[in-house]
Each structure stands twice: as structure tokens, then as C-alpha cells.
Structure 1
Amino acid sequence: MSARGLLIAAPRSGSGKTTITLGLQRALTQRGLTVRGLKCGPDYIDPAFHAAATGAPSANLDSYAMPDALLAQIAREATEGADLVVAEGSMGLFDAVPGPEGHTGASADIAALTSWPVVLVIDVSGAAQSVAAVALGCKVYDPRIRIAGVILNKVASARHERLVRQGMERIGLPVLGALPREASLILPERHLGLVQAGETADLHARLDALAQAVAAAVDLDAVIAAAGETKLVAAASDGPPPLPAPGRKIAIARDAAFSFVYPHVEAGWRAAGAEIIPFSPLRDEAPPEDCDACWLPGGYPELHAGTIAAAGRFLDGLRRFAEARPVHGECGGYMVLGSSLTDADGSAHAMAGLLSVETSFAKRKMNLGYRRAVLQADGPLGPAGTALTGHEFHYASIVAQGEDPPFAVVTDPHGSAPAPAGSRRGHVTGSFFHAIATAGAP
């Protein structure tokens, strides 16, 4: 029997979704339930926190970048052998990009796909009964979904809570809990979001503190009762992996500088029979010689540029590997494949030089959004003409593109003109584009 589920969402970003989601996941796990987490949208960091909170794998559900069958497969796998799925939304519940209904990237799409009720987290600071008007708007805005209740966050006082509850009573939405303002509930952040789970000091102590705070302020029995039966709109598919495996034995960089890999991508490669062998550039390890492809994920190389530049065994081994076998870099991995990387202090560090691009973290500009990429040559992600869906999220800038031809031509959902992106040379490819799945027809 598949698990019941619910989606923790909010009217806007910054409402406290992640901390409350983690607190709920941990508290329910401590009750003896088998809990699985999922994250809406293109987020690498939160699923690792879900996994730490629950002791079980987490994954992403992205209604813009993933086809229905893949979405259903990921959701179905999460419900197998679990008691409860506690999924986390992204941004505001209805925030989306242009696209067909159900394929806009909105968290509401995922609630509709799975039939999971929504628990709305609302930051009530600076308002009282007016909060109910916001909740009512969420309740009636999209008839595909159902709001099961609300959790109030950043409540100032008992009187404040009473006033907010009065508004909720008027619109008929149950209040499942109310958390006071508490700075200690905030997890550490950096420029791409939360500091990664593996780097967060005293992570399990922090998660236990979140669980204790949530359990004290939220009616966990009511949350469990609010969960709904999983009823997938689309049929799950056990077909080809979301992305083609770049090799049968894939060397993948994995450490504090290289960590942004979607769980569903690695799972798809393994299901297709590929073996994944991690290595650490920060420990000056070269890609293993017995592998037939190398993948450099995104992450935070800009914070470790000096260490990477001094990692002679890694850089020399990577260059040897690239002489005859495919090497691909996404975002941070692309920066390391380039000629140089300038750090936040303005110091330039020599990188692998396998591509001619030069990047800088000193010249920062946020680049964020979904992309559709069409490959310009045969490579590890498919033959020329293959279309991929994915996204970009980086602050680094290209200061010199160099002479390499582009890896892909990209567009965005907002009607942007096709533009060249990334670089390719010999067996080496890379771009700031994070691939999520092979795309269907335009």
C-alpha cells in the first residue's frame, strides 16, 4: 500500500517552509513513522536535508522540467514502503513560469498531480486577521488542489495568535500549529541557499531542535490526519533514464566543491546499469582510470578555487582522462574545466584549461531560471539535436568565452531568443545549464 502524503507550501518565499518541513519530518520520524521527503522544483540542497531529517532518500518533483511519467515514477517510489510523504514546495504555492496547465513549475502542479492536500505555512509577522484573507485567496485560487490547514509562523504573542486564529475561523481553515519568532530555528545560508547538509555543523542536533520546537507548537496528530491518499494523475514509467548515462562506469566528483547532482539523475543512471564511482578533487584525487566517463557537477568551486588550482594530481589526471574519454561539467564543474576562475577577492586561479572559458565570482550577477537546451554536437548527453530541460542558478559571470564552439543553444519559458551556451572541445563539454530530463517536442 502506498503512503499518504501532504505538501508543505506557502504564499511566498521566506515564510519558513524549509525549517517547518524539516521539523515535521524529524518529529514524525521520531514518532516511529517511516517518512519520505520530496522537494518541488530545481533544488539540490533541500533534499539532502530531508534525507538527514528522515533517514531516507529524498528527490525532486519538477512539473516544468519533468514529463508526467517521470513525476509519477518519483512520487510512486517515494510512497513505497513509507507511512507518510512530507513534500516541500518552492517559492509561493502558485508561482510559476508560462506553460500548459500542470507543467508550469508551480508547487500547486505537484499537489494536483499527486492529490496530496496542502498545509500552508504563513509568516504572520506584521498582520493579524488579514492573514486569513491571504489564506482564503490560496484556498480558492486553484480548484485542482485542497488546502487542509495552516501553520502560523513568527507569531509575536498569545494575543497575536488569538487574532490570527479568529480570521482563520471565519474562513473555515483549521490552524494546525503556531510557532513563535525564534532565531535559533534559522539554518545557516550562503549565496545559493542553505549551507549544504554535509557542511552544517551539528546538523542532527539542529534537526532535533527543530523537531522539538515543531512538536511543541504543532498538532502532529492533526498533520497526520490531514495527509491524503496518493492518487497519481499520470501513470509511472520504468522506461529510459531521465538523462542518458554518459558511460557505463562514471567517475563523478563529490565533495564540498562538487555536490549538485539530482537524486533522480543518479538513480536513473544506476537503473540503466551504470556504475557511479565518486572521487574528490579537494583531496587531490584524479578521476579513476578504469572509468569511461567523468562528470563534474555544480557546487561551490568558487569557495575552494585556490585548493583546486593547487590539486596537481586531480588536474593532471583530468587532462589525461579527457584525451580519450568524455568529460562534462555543469555550472561549477564548467568553471573548473575552463582556463581560469577568479574568486570573490579578485584573485585569478588557473583551472584545468580543457575549455577556453574564463569565469569570475568577483563580478557577481544572479542568473536564475528554467532553460531548454538543444545540443549542438554529439556528446555524453545525447546526439546533436537532443533537447534537454533544466535550469541555471549561479552568481559567477563569464569574463571571456574563448574560442570554443557552444555546447548548446538555449531558450527560456518567457520567449527569449535562442542563444549559444557553454563550450565544447574534443571530448570535453560544459555549461552553466543543469540538465534535469530529456525534453519532448518543443
Structure 2
Amino acid sequence: MVNVPRLVIAAPSSGSGKTTVATGLMAAFSERGLLVSPHKVGPDYIDPGYHALAVSSGASAAGGGRGTWVRPGRNLDAYMCGPGLIGPLFAHGAAGCDLAVVEGVMGLYDGASDQGELASTAQVSKLLRAPVVLVVDASSQSRSVAALVHGFASWDPEVRIGGVILNKVATDRHERLLRDALDGSGVPVLGVLRRTDQVSAPSRHLGLVPVAERHTDALEAMRELAERVRAGCDLEALLALARSAPALDAAAWEPGMEPVAANGGVRPVVAVAGGSAFTFSYAEHTELLTAAGADVVPFDPLRDEKLPDGTRGLVIGGGFPEVYAPELSANEPLREAVAELARSGAPVAAECAGLLYLARSLDGKPMCGVLAADARMSGRLTLGYREAVAIGDNALARAGTRVRGHEFHRTVLEPGAGADPAWGVVHPERRVEGFVQGGVHASYLHTHWAATPQMARRFVGRCVSSGDV
């Protein structure tokens, strides 16, 4: 049973202020000395980075030894992981915490296309038995806000909307009109944030700039967010609402598995790309690799000229290599080290940004040259959930393994698949995608290994068998 107080922060649509409110609440409650567990509905990698910064900076501001509190932002994606894993993943992430704050995705009832409520914030709130706080962009409306809130509160009786936070409110008079309209709605106003002095993070072609690229500025923004939320929201009422969540009947997910037996008992080193160019990863991937018997060692392709000592496997996740193409290209010693590792047959798992880094070139800049393909930026956004099947045996999966993943990029790779593709996409369209050659598995598809933990164990097994460790 899970008894962690919890709130889901949702909105009628994207752009209403969910991230502002959720991140501000995480920071504000952390500053009060609460241990806050941050979560994000959906596949998004960037918001969880801000969430992690919010709880760590808030804990640091609280003092009393809480400055050492580090809790990664974790995703709750019912499409990629399945509804049955939402409760266990939440329990795993929130263990030992005083409060959990879950930021929703898109509009409250928006989920995977043509899949009903699947992967929606509403579905996750029901799976977590968590009250919802609706963040409403109140600009350009007054009494109509009551109709909007009433519609969202009554659409699904199983979704409990416990309060509303009004965002972008213009004046005292505007606030009075909004409060009067909502007075008889049965949904209390738990906060009001003014339109002026909005705190925001810079954006670019795939959304917010990741926190790893602007840590100092992001810290200052976090302090401002916490101050705005403290001033504009009823934190006591919000905490009481969170504590009203009933016990959740879920056993915490564990990455436990039988570790791969290494030669001589020495755990293989798996190098994981990080730094500003490769910021997209799920915390569970590292936990699974470690449980499978690997020593996970991070490195930064922008700065490190060699792979970690003893590297037997390489994981390169998503990020923004297109922003750092000149710097990545200039680090020729590391590019050659990656190519040499791939040539040796060692397992290499590359997703999206990692795929581009392994290519021959990116926007004309030489990359690692592992794949006979060239990448470039395009004006078209490729975005959405995918269902795919492994076409052949590879470092991550056996032939026929079915996965659900997510694609999110503005780049084009030519060709888009090798002689041995990584995946056969079966939904929403049918096509082949990615590359398998030797120990390399490279693809645009992001997957969540908590749904297929055998992928981590298979990868570590390949690390052990690829050479003496």
C-alpha cells in the first residue's frame, strides 16, 4: 500500500501553465522542508529535468541537511509502460517522500491518438487515485471560466478535480469576477497567478531548453517560481488536498533481476552519454542496467576525449546533437573511440540523438561514421507514439519482441533504415526503421525499458560476451 500524499497538476489544454505551477509547487513545498517526489505524465524528458532541479534547489534552500536531497523526475507513461505499471512506478519513485506532485500532459483528457483515454492525465490520475488541480488560463474570460471548470469536473465522475488555480489573471477586478463565477461551482480556487512578470524558460524547436544547458539561469527562475507560487497559492489547502488521497494498492516497481554472471566476477562497464547534448534518459534505464550486473559510468561527448576506462557497452540516448554538431564533430578522439568500440562488436544502444551521433554526418559536420547515413535538420516535426516489432535478433531484443515507444524529432536521416533495420513499425503506419549492424542498435524510437526489462539484461549479457572483462 502507498500512502504518499499526492496531487496531479492538469489543465484544459497545453500552454495553460501546468509546468509553471507544478514546478513552482515542487520548489515551494521543498523549501518548506518536505521531501517532494516529482513526476511527469507522458514521454517528455525536458520537464522532469526542471522538476528535479526544483526539488533539489528547494531542499537546499530549506537547509537543515536537506541540501543533499536529490530525486530524479520520473515519467508515468501508460502507453509505453502500460496502465498496470503506473502505480508500481509511482510507488518506486515516491518511496520515502512526504508529497508527490505529478505534472500532466496536454489537456486533462487528451491521450494517445485514437486510443480513448489511454496515456491521458485523466487516466493516470485515476490509476493513482489522486486529486487533480486544474490550471486554467483565465486571460480573456470571466464568467465563462465557471462553465469551463464545470465541464471538466463533470466529464468523468471518476476524475476528482479538487481545486483550480487561475493563471494569467490581469487585475484585482478580474480576479473578483473569476472568483464570483466559480463560487457556486463546487470547485474551490486554490491559487491565483497574475499575468505580469510571468516566469518562463527559453524554448527552441523541440520545446523548453533542457535544464542541463542553463543550470544557473534555471536556478534563479526556480527561486522566482517558488516565490510566485507561495504568494499566489494556498499551500496549506493544496497540501490538505494531497493528503486526502486514499491509500494506493500498489507494490513498488523494482528493477531486480538475476544479474548476468560476469567473467571473474568483474562487472562490465556501460558508458552512458550525458552532458548538454544528450539529456534525454529515463532514470529506470540506469537502475535496470545496474541490476542486470553493469557498472554504469556517465561521460560527456562534448568534453571527454575518451570513453570511460574498461567500457564494454555504450548507451547514447536522446538530446540535441544538432545544436552542438560543431562541438561534437570537433571532438575527433572520442568519435574515433566510439567507432572503434562499435567495430569491435561491443553492444551500442542509440536512440534518436544517439542515432544521429553514430551517423556519417549531421548537417554536414562529420560524426562517428558508424552508420552509412547522413542526418540533417528539417522543417517537419515528427511526433507521436509508435508500436514496433524487432525484425531480427540484436543487442536489445530477440526477433519478434514487441515494444511501444515514442518518436520526437525535426531531423531526417538518409537512408532511414539499414540493410538490417532495428524495428518494423506496425502502428500507426507500417514501415521499417533504424539500423542493426554488429552490436549496434540505432533508432529514432525512444522506449521505456521498465516495460521490457529483459532488454537491459540482454544488453549487459552482450557486454559480458563481447570480450574479457
Q: Which residue in 1 is equivalent to 2:61?
A: none
2:62 equivalent in structure 1? none
Structure 1 equivalent of residue 218 of structure 2: 203
1:65 aligned to 2:68? no
Mean alpha-carbon deviation: is it higher for 53-62 or for 83-92? 53-62
Of residues 427, 430, 450, the one that matches 1:418 is: 430
Q: CA deviation digits over 1:349-385, x for unaligned, max 9?
A: 1211111221111x22101111112112222222111
Shift of 1:153: 0.1
TM-superposed CA distance for 1:265, in Å, is 2.0
**1:289 shift after superposition:** 4.7
Partner SS, residue 3 of structure 1: coil
Match of 2:440 among 415, 428, 431: 428
Deviation of the 1:23 alpha carbon: 1.0
Match of residue 79 from structure 1 = 94
Residues 147-162 of structure 1 correspond to what in structure 2 (within 5 A)? Answer: 147-162=161-176
The equivalent residue for 1:345 is none
Q: Which residue of 2 aligns with 1:379?
A: 394
- Residue 394 of structure 2 contacts residue 436 of structure 2 at CA under 8 Å; is this kept in 1? no
Cα distance, 1:248–1:384 mapped onto 2, change above 3 Å:
farther
Which residue of the partner structure matches residue 356 of structure 2?
335
Aligned to 2:460: none
Q: 2:296 aligns with which of 276, 291, 299?
A: 276
Which secondary structure does the structure 2 equivalent of 1:258 belong to?
Answer: coil
Give a deviation string over 1:88-122, Cα, whole Å, max 9, x none: 001111101257776x1101111101111000000
Tell me how far 1:237 sits from its aligned partner.
Answer: 4.2
Q: Work out whether 1:324 is the aligned partner of 2:357.
A: no
TM-score of the superposition, structure 2-length normalised? 0.86
Distance 2:164 2:315 in 1: 42
> CA–CA distance in 2 between the matches of 1:230 and 1:426?
51
Q: Distance between the aligned counterparts of 1:59 and 1:209, measured in 2? A: 23
Instruction: Output the amino acid matched with 1:122.
Output: V
Question: How many positions carry a matched residue from both structures?
Answer: 426
1:321: how far off? Answer: 0.7
Q: Which runs of 5+ in 2 are unaligned?
A: 57-70, 261-266, 454-469
Alignment correspondent of 1:38: 39
Q: 1:121 to 1:331 in 2, by over 3 A?
A: same
- Counterpart position of 1:26: 27
Equivalent of 1:296, from 316, 322, 328? 316
Alignment of 1:338-417 (within 5 A): 338-342=359-363, 348-361=364-377, 363-401=378-416, 403-412=418-427, 416-417=428-429
- What percent of counterpart residues are identical? 39
Asked whether the 8 Å contact 2:268–2:310 carries over to 1, the reply is no
> Is the 8 Å Cα contact of residues 3 and 247 (structure 2) preserved in structure 1?
no
Give the residue type in structure 1 aligned to 2:338. Answer: L
Aligned residue type for 1:126: S
- Assess, with a 3 A threshold, how the Cα gap between structure 1 residues 401 and 6 changes in structure 2: closer, same or farther: closer
Q: One-letter code of the match for 2:217?
A: D
- 1:192 corresponding residue in structure 2: 206
2:270 to 246, 250, 254: 250
Deviations 1:369-421 (A, max 9, x none): 11112112222222111112210110111243475321111133xxx332101
* C-alpha distance in structure 1 between counterparts of 2:191 and 2:255, whole Å: 42
Deviates more, 1:108-117 or 1:428-437: 428-437
Conservation of the 8 A alpha-carbon contact between 1:389 and 1:439: no
**Which residue in 2 is equivalent to 1:286?**
306
What amino acid does structure 2 have at the position aligned with 1:351?
M
Name the residue aligned to 1:261. 281
* Matched-pair contact (CA < 8 Å) for 1:48–1:197: yes
Distance in structure 1 (CA, Å) of the matches to 2:206 and 2:144: 32
* Cα distance, 1:75–1:220 mapped onto 2, change above 3 Å: same
Structure 1: tracts of 5 or more residues without a match? 343-347
- Aligned 8 A contact 1:78 1:85 in 2: no
Distance of 1:82 and 1:174 partners within structure 2: 26
- For the 8 Å contact 2:417–2:434, the answer to whether it is kept is no
Aligned match for 1:175, one of 189, 200, 220: 189
1:108 aligned residue (114, 122, 133): 122
Shift of residue 77, structure 1, vs aligned partner: 2.1
Q: 1:223: Cα distance to partner?
A: 0.7
Q: Tell me the CA shift for residue 152 of structure 1.
A: 0.1
- Tell me the SS of whatever aligns to 1:368: strand
For 1:374, the aligned partner's letter is V
SS in structure 1 of the partner of residue 311 of structure 2? coil
Note if contact 2:92-2:253 (Cα within 8 Å) is conserved in structure 1: no
Structure 2 residue identity aligned to 1:50: H
Q: CA deviation at 1:230?
A: 5.0
> Mean Cα displacement is larger for which, 227-236 or 292-301?
227-236
Partner-residue secondary structure (3-state), 1:60: strand
CA displacement 1:185-240 (0-9 Å, x = unmatched): 11222222211112223322211111111111111111111113354355544366
**Per-residue deviation, 1:69:** 4.4
